[in-house]
Amino acid sequence: MTAVSVPTSTSFDLGPARALSCRECGHETPLAAEYACVECFGPLEVAYDFGRIRREDIESGPRSIWRYRGLLPVPSTVQSHPNTEPGGTRLVQADRLAKALGLRKVWVKDDTGNPTHSFKDRVVGVALAAARELGFTVLACPSTGNLANAVAAAAARAGWESVVLVPSSLEQAKILMTAVYDGALIAVDGNYDDVNRLAQELAAEHEDWAFVNVNVRPYYAEGSKTLGYEVAEQLGWRLPDQIVVPIASGSQLTKVDKAFREFGELGLVEQTPYKVFGAQATGCSPVSAAFKDGHDVVRPVRPDTIARSLAIGAPADGPYVLDAVRRTGGAIEDVTDEEVVEGIRLLARTEGIFAETAGGVTVATAKKLVETGKLDPDAETVLLITGDGLKTLDAVSHTLSPLATVPPSAQAVLDALAKR
């Protein structure tokens, strides 16, 4: 009789992912479509056994998030899957913005360059690759907008069905940019937190639906690490001194921090100190409020802001955001809707980059953090611009118009310019 190999706890090939581990009590459970700890209901997170990973291995990979596949919970064959290919977005040296903000050196990580124009393509790419391995066939999500775009597009490209739930008050552009991919788009009369509750209910009933940010959330969340990896690699394999990250559920911020730590632990970068700063809109600033009050728990709020992509009143990762920001010596600030619009216009005017409201939140928060002495003006600063201004035209439309409307005459143009 030949030896039979003992089956391991799971037969899924999710690359370096070893298990799911509880962020609260550390209890480990085999890789599966689970998101809450059976012991304490705490959120689960992917735990890894990384092999040796060298810079050259990453550098020889594709110019997309898949160059980091050795650090993600996806099959090693992921490149051959018909995924979208997010990532590889530009890191822009933003000297004119730096000058306007009173900072010595600023880099803008411009994630508007992803397939559906926001960083959500990264998390959906990883969620889809993991969901396929876990046996799902339908991609689903509750969304504040950008996730809806990314899920519908990725599902279309993979030949999957999609079910997308959004608040009915969503920006028209984000509705259209989801509907065009021809999945099932459902507008729900309620805010994001209502839509999210609905998704949890449906996820429990439909076991073949991969709700990317609910039942496969541990995998989805890891996709945000690629933003941190890219920033460090594009800086020439080193960590920035300070980074400003917008907060919705807070997942992205905690994963950028995780990415920096992993790169340090794996010896891919020197373990230099860095500070993580969080940005919210005042109309939905539960994490900023908890930070300022010195609390460890985040009190839910009812969102009221033009920054709808960040309008999550009960952010799942709130406490972990507070941990990461406090541990690294950063801070969290929030800005009014008027400041958000000014932030969008400042970035456009200085760097030629048109960000959506979330980007306005990041830029305006950076400005406030400089003014209050929390961002060090001499330290190198990275701003994460996570979505495209074409998605939120309404936010700025009332402040913008042509300088003049004139008859087709050269003199009329010159007169208009002279009056400027």
Ligand X SMILES: *Cc1c(COP(=O)(O)O)cnc(C)c1O
Cβ proximity of 86 and 121 under 8 Å: yes
The distance of closest approach from Cβ of residue 282 to ligand X in the complex, given in angstroms and rounded to an integer, is: 16
Tell me how far the alpha carbon of residue 192 is from its chain's centroid.
16
Binding status of residue 307 toward ligand X by CB under 6 A:
no
Q: What are φ and ψ of residue 47, in 5° steps?
A: -110, 145
133: Cβ contacts below 8 Å, ≥ 6 apart:
12, 13, 14, 74, 75
Pick the piece of the chain touching ligand X (CB under 6 A) from 32-40, 47-55, 242-250, 344-352. Answer: 242-250
Q: Counting contacts by CB under 6 A, is residue 365 touching ligand X? A: no
* 248 makes contact with ligand X (CB under 6 A): yes
Please say which residue, 18 or 339, places its beta carbon nearer to ligand X.
339
**381 lies in the binding site for ligand X (CB under 6 A):** no
Closer CB to Zn ion, residue 21 or residue 357?
21
Q: Which is nearer to Zn ion, 317 or 333 (CB)?
A: 317
Closer to ligand X by Cβ: residue 381 or 386: 386
When asked if residue 23 is in the footprint of Zn ion (CB under 5 A), the reply is no
CB of 333 to ligand X, least distance (A): 15
Q: Which of ligand X, Zn ion, none is residue 196 near (CB under 5 to 8 Å by kind)?
A: none
Contact code string over 189-228 relative to ligand X, x by CB under 6 A = -----------------------------------x----
Q: Is 39 in the site for Zn ion (CB under 5 A)?
A: yes
Where on the phi/psi map is residue 163: left (φ > 0), alpha (ψ -120 to 50), or beta?
beta
- Binders of ligand X among residues 107 to 136 (CB under 6 A) are 118, 120
Residues ≥6 apart with Cβ < 8 Å to 269: 232, 237, 238, 239, 260, 263
CA pair distance 287, 290, nearest whole angstrom: 5
CB count, 10 Å around CB of 273? 8
Q: What does DSSP say about strands 17-22 and 44-48: parallel, antiparallel, or unpaired?
A: antiparallel
Measure CA of the first residue to CA of the last residue in the chain; give whole Å: 90
Largest alpha-carbon pair distance within the chain?
A: 96
Q: Does 27 contact Zn ion by CB under 5 A?
A: yes
Taking the C-alpha atoms of residue 297 and residue 289, their distance in angstroms, rounded to an integer, is 10
Q: Please say whether the beta carbons of 363 and 348 come within 8 A.
A: no
Instruction: Catalogue the long-range contacts made by 49-54 (C-beta closer than 8 Å, 24 or more residues apart).
Output: 49/16, 49/18, 50/16, 50/262, 50/266, 51/16, 53/266, 53/268
Write the interaction track for Zn ion spanning residues 42-61; mark x where CB under 5 A is met and - where it is not. Answer: x-------------------
Site string for ligand X, 344-363 (x = CB under 6 A): ------------x-x-----
Binding segment for ligand X among 177-185, 250-258, 324-332, 371-379 (CB under 6 A)? 250-258
C-beta separation of 229 from 259 below 8 A: yes
25 is an interface residue for Zn ion by CB under 5 A: yes
Are 310 and 250 contacting, i.e. CB atoms less than 8 angstroms apart? no
Q: With beta carbons less than 8 A apart as the criterion, state whether 162 and 87 touch.
A: no
**Least separation, in Å, of the C-beta of 102 and ligand X?**
24
Residues 132 to 171 in contact with ligand X, rule: CB under 6 A:
146
Total number of residues binding ligand X (CB under 6 A)?
17
Member of 17, 20, 33, 37 binding Zn ion (CB under 5 A): 37
Order of strands across the sheet with 28-29? 28-29, 17-22, 44-48
Give residues 384-413 in contact with ligand X (rule: CB under 6 A): 386-387
Residue 25, binding choice from ligand X, Zn ion, none, Cβ under 5 to 8 Å by partner class: Zn ion
State which residue, 70 or 142, has the beta carbon closest to ligand X: 142
User: Which of positions 251-270 make contact with ligand X (CB under 6 A)?
Assistant: 251-252
Interface contacts to ligand X, rule CB under 6 A: 118, 120, 146, 224, 246-252, 309-310, 356, 358, 386-387
The footprint of Zn ion (CB under 5 A) covers 22, 24-25, 27, 37, 39-40, 42
